[in-house]
Amino acid sequence: MAKKKLDLNLAKLVSSSAHFNENNTDEFKGNVISKINIDFLQENPYQPRLEINSESLTELADSIEKNGLLQPITVVKINDQEYTIIYGHRRTAALKKLNKKYIDAIILDEVAHEQLSLLPLIENLQREDMNPIETAIAIKKILDEKIVNSQVDLAHKLGYSTSWLSRVLSILKLPEEIIKQIKIDGYNDIHVLSALNKIQSDHFDVYKKITNLTRTAAIHYIKNLQDNTKMAYIDNRVKQTKNSININTKGLSLTKRDEVNKILNKLKSILDS
């Protein structure tokens, strides 16, 4: 079967706002809205949001209880009793919290494997609160499973630069304690986190200092640390060089060797003083 072209219009379609209540079975821009038994829904293995904040989920559930479901979820049909969620994991979780049995959904009969993995990521990237750790993990999963040809190909499909993609992936190289703290704090400046990965030590202390800074100030602070580290390394190398002066005396007479050694000893004495 030929590989389908990625339908980015689908992302735009399902992000449009519309109001739906429990009795609505109308059409949404050519796609039929149907009611699906929530028990028939299964998670998308490429869903980038690995964790749902319990407080925000409660707020969403309260809103749906009061106003109804404002936007249907989007699913792909596997069979009559199985549907994979493309968009709407939080809405589904909220309705489950309300003990609802059915949910309004746009049902797609077929979605290419590439779409199944990329579309949820594209939708979530459009939200400012997207966790950079989850973004990085989702991108790494797509690349590891070779769903796309390369990082360049993936960046193009997502609508981002390759440098942005590289910065996101570099975040996963940070120490585990910082990765956990980023999730807790909800800190999401990818540029700063990528820069933080370039320093050699004290990552956690530096992270705690930069989270309250602007991006410019944070990156400037990290750059100064890098410069100081480089200077310390250079100073250390210079000291080592000063204390290990070596001259090849092979071929010299014993008298000249003694003279050279006396000179070297005097130089070392001066440099060590």
Q: Which residues of the chain have pLDDT under 70?
A: 1-32, 128-129, 227-251, 271-273
Check whether domain 131-242 has CATH 3.90.650.10, yes or no: no
> Could you say which DSSP state residue 53 is in?
-
pLDDT tens, position by position, 179-211? 999 988 889 899 999 998 888 777 788 888 888
Q: Which two tokens stand for residue 154?
A: 């993936």
State residue 85's pLDDT score: 92
Size of the chain in residues:
273
Crossing angle of helices 215-242 and 203-210, in 10° steps, is: 150
State residue 143's pLDDT score: 94
State residue 83's pLDDT score: 93
One DSSP character per residue, 90-154 reads HHHHHHHHTT-SEEEEEEES---HHHHHHHHHHHHHTSTT--HHHHHHHHHHHHHTTSSS-HHHH
Q: Which two tokens stand for residue 169?
A: 């992936």
Q: Which of 47, 35, 54, 46 is nearest to 93 (CA)?
A: 54
Alpha-carbon distances, residue 195 vs 177, 191, 230 (angstroms): 17, 6, 15
Q: At residue 86, what are phi and psi to the nearest 5 degrees? A: -100, -50
In Å, how far from its chain's centre is CA 21?
35
State residue 151's pLDDT score: 94
pLDDT tens, position by position, 135-169? 999 999 999 999 999 999 999 999 899 999 999 99
Please, which residues have CB within 8 angstroms of residue 155's CB and are 6 or more apart in sequence? 161, 162, 164, 165
Q: Using CA atoms, how far apart are residues 27 and 106, in angstroms rounded to an integer? A: 9
- Choices 1.10.4190.10, 3.30.420.40, 3.90.1530.10, 3.40.430.10: CATH for 1-124: 3.90.1530.10
